[in-house]
Structures are given as C-alpha cells and as structure tokens.
Amino acid sequence: MIVRTLDEITDTDADIKTPNWRSKRIILAKEKVGFSVHETTLYAGTVNDFWYANHIEAVFVYEGEGEITNKATGETFQLKPGSLYLLNDHDKHQVRPKTDMKTVCVFNPPVTGREVHDENGVYPLVVEEDEADEKSA
C-alpha cells in the first residue's frame, strides 16, 4: 500500500513548476501500477497547447474554471469543478484557464517524472530502466 500527501511532494523533484502550470506527480511509473497520478494547477490567463501522442490522459477539474478546445475539430468545452475530459484519441488540445484551475490527471502509460514537453506539447515515451530491460529480454 502506498499512502502519500501533497505536502510530501511539494518542492521535491516530483513537483514540476513552469510559468503556465505546476504539476505534483503523486504516483509515477516507478510504482509499477500501470498509470501515473498528478495534481496539476494551470494558471489563470495562460494558453496551454498539449498533445499526448504517446499517452492517454484523463483530467478531473476540482477547482477553478476554464475551457478546452479540440484542435482537430475546433470544438470548445467549458470546464468547471466536476468536469472531466479524456484525451482518448491522443487529441491535440488547448487549455485556457479563466481562473487558476486545479486538476487531478491520470496518465497511461505512466510518466516517469523525467518527461519534458517538446515544441508540439508532446511528452516523449520514457520508461523505467527495468521496464526497458524486460522488453528487450
């Protein structure tokens, strides 16, 4: 059993800060449970272009408001507490928080915590070393 608090993660290497958002990675690939869980705060007034070409992501909004646009279709959806969006088709999307938006995000496959968004908003697929060893065996 793993029990962890956000206070334990704050200001560690699992607490990723950028000008547009902050992500506290609560569960990562090293836990070997098949997904990762993050608490992410997106800052009011920012424009965030993401494309998880290598991951499926579910995002639950529990505080704040904003909107998300599917970049392929142009559809825009309002986000508020209780909203969930699932990027089940590796959707290119843009998130625009109107207020600071607090979310819980789940990634499959799990992130390791070492990923950095590239110029397209994509996380590379990074695996833990023991996973890579198992796949090559």
Assigned domain for 57 exists: yes
Q: Mean pLDDT in the chain?
A: 89
Confidence bin at 118 (pLDDT 50/70/90): low
61 pLDDT above the threshold of 60: yes
Query: Does any domain span residue 75?
Result: yes
Residue 17 lies in a domain: no
Contact 101, 81 (CB under 8 A): no
Residues of the chain above pLDDT 90, percent: 77
Per-residue model confidence as pLDDT tens digits over 89-112: 999 999 999 999 999 999 999 988
Percent of the chain whose predicted confidence (pLDDT) is above 70: 82
d(CA 61, CA 58): 10
Q: Which domain holds residue 72?
A: 22-106
Other C-beta atoms lying within 10 Å of the C-beta of residue 89: 9
Stated pTM of the model? 0.85
**Residue from 29, 32, 47 nearest 97 by CA:** 47
Residue 64 located in a structural domain: yes
DSSP tag of 136: H
Domain count, the chain: 1
Q: Is the residue at 13 inside a domain?
A: no
Q: Does the residue 27 lie in any domain?
A: yes
Residue 5 lies inside a defined structural domain of this protein: no
Q: Quick check: is 82 in a domain?
A: yes
Residue 90 maps to which CATH number?
2.60.120.10
